Amino acid sequence: MSEAEDFLAVQSYDAMVLDVNLPDGTGTALLRAMRGRGDRTPVLMLTANSAVEDRVGALDLGADDYLVKPFDQRELEATAPAGTVSAPAPRASTITSTAPVEAPAEMPSR
């Protein structure tokens, strides 16, 4: 959980797929902390726990959806927020710099 918190401290994400069982905590605790600080990143919770109480609890904490493992890849694609699984983010076609640009030195003639 601490590694995920470190990533969230320096980067924003279009969406998260978050397992309930993390090596050093729970995904629900991370979700609670995210929502507590106003982070509205869409979160799809994953877990092997299929109990209705677990699903409802995660949704009540602010999860956008809940997927029980094992699952089919098509199910993940169908439940992930639109455009976050199948379509890559558009990339800028122009690079902007505020540094002065020098003309390249002439190539020696042959």
* Helix locations, the chain, DSSP H: 2-10, 27-36, 52-61, 73-79
Top pLDDT among 80 and 87 is at 80
Q: How do residues 6-49 score in pLDDT, each as one tens digit?
A: 888 999 888 899 999 888 999 999 999 999 999 999 999 998 88
State yes or no: pLDDT of 85 exceeds 80. Answer: no
**Domain map (residue ranges) of the chain:** 2-73
Return phi, psi of residue 68, to 5°.
-95, 130
Q: Residue type at 82?
A: A
Q: What is the topology classification, in CATH, of domain 2-73?
A: Rossmann fold (3.40.50)
pLDDT band at 103 (very low <50, low <70, confident <90, very high): very low
Average pLDDT, the chain: 78
